[in-house]
Amino acid sequence: MKGIYSALLASFDEQGKINEQGVREIVRHNIDKMMVDGLYVGGSTGENFMLSTEEKKQIFEIAKDEAGSEVKLIAQVGSINVYESIDLAKHATALGYDAISAVTPFYYKFSFEEIKDYYNMIIDSVDNRLIIYSIPFLTGVDMSVEQFGELFENPKIIGVKFTAADFFLLERMRKAYPDKLIFAGFDEMMLSAAVLDVDGAIGSTFNVNGPRARQIYELAKAGKIEEAREIQHTTNDLIAAILDNGLYPTIKCILEEQGVHAGCCRKPMASATPEARIRAREIYKQYIK
């Protein structure tokens, strides 16, 4: 399960409906051109939290049908509705996903015991493995080393997607749980996470910057920090330009420049304006082509 995973984008038409061919093309692009080890399907990058349960299932089905067993697949099934999460976990497991993942329950101020119950309910409902999706800046849920340890007491909870800038916590977790998988979740901080011996990374910009992500990870693992740092500098120049122009719309425009029908964003998220499309083309030519 280790390595470089793209947080898979989803493709929608102008009416907000899933563009199946576009999703298939994004999957193929990631496998054939970005050379990733796996796909993280149904996460924030896939605009998951704006989709119905049936639409989430459809994305899982398309991605699995297109990828087959070529790469590892992780299905993000987390939801504020734990019964939807269980339904999605069963669906992804039946499809043959290698693992499931679940974001911490958000919006309400859930206690840690409630969060722990949520994770155990999901993973105990299926014969699969679960990776916690920790993204405190969006969910408002911070957990301690000890609390992660309590979750890891369930042997089916095998790791965490760590999307946070708290590298002290990351280091403490790596030392405390050497046998658990830790995936870095911030593309722009990948080198720092790799130095702390994470097991891989899951990123949205890997859809267009996968080869550099792998270089950073492998160079850091080999102790070639100066070389990795130079590639991280270039990567962060790219990321800064993408963020300034609109994260998901710009990545989709860059994919369109490469012949991939990445489509529109799902409302209420705005798609790229004509000006943003021009800027995305410039970013593509400067940093990727």
Kind plus residue range of the DSSP H or E element containing 3:
strand 3-7
List per-residue pLDDT tens for the chain, 289 residues long: 999 999 999 999 999 999 999 999 999 999 999 999 999 999 999 999 999 999 999 999 999 999 999 999 999 999 999 999 999 999 999 999 999 999 999 999 999 999 999 999 999 999 999 999 999 999 999 999 999 999 999 999 999 999 999 999 999 999 999 999 999 999 999 999 999 999 999 999 999 999 999 999 999 999 999 999 999 999 999 999 999 999 999 999 999 999 999 999 999 999 999 999 999 999 999 999 8
Torsion, Cα of 237, 243, 248, 252 (10° steps): -40
Q: Give residue 211's pLDDT.
A: 98
> Tell me, what's the pLDDT at 218?
98
Q: Which domains does the chain have, with CATH numbers?
A: 3-224 (3.20.20.70)
pTM of the model: 0.98
Quote the tokens at residue 221: 């693992």
Measured in residues, the chain has a length of 289
pLDDT for 4: 98
Q: Are 140 and 108 in contact (CB under 8 A)?
A: no
- Please pick, among 56, 57, 161, 252, the residue that the annotation labels catalytic: 161
Q: Which residues pair with 157 in a beta bridge?
A: 130
CA distance 138 to 199: 23
Q: Is 289 a catalytic residue?
A: no
Annotation marks residue 133 as catalytic: yes
45 known member of a binding site:
yes
Q: Is 69 annotated as a binding residue?
A: no
Q: Is 227 exposed, middle or buried (0-12, 13-18, 19+ CB in 10 A)?
A: middle
Query: Of residues 97, 133, 248, 287, which has the active-site annotation?
Result: 133
- Alpha helices, DSSP H only, in 70-111? 82-95
Was 210 annotated as part of a binding site?
no
Q: 153-167: buried (b, 16+ CB within 10 Å) or exposed (e) per residue?
A: eeebbbbbbbbbeee
Task: Compute the distance between CA of residue 237 and CA of residue 265 in angstroms, rounded to an integer.
Answer: 24
Q: Is 163 annotated as a binding residue?
A: yes
Q: Is 204 annotated as a binding residue?
A: yes
The pLDDT of residue 73: 99
Residue 80: per-residue pLDDT:
96
Angle at 9 between CA 273 and CA 77, to 5 degrees: 130
Binding site annotation covers 271? no
The interaxial angle of helices 225-245 and 206-221, nearest 10 deg, is 160
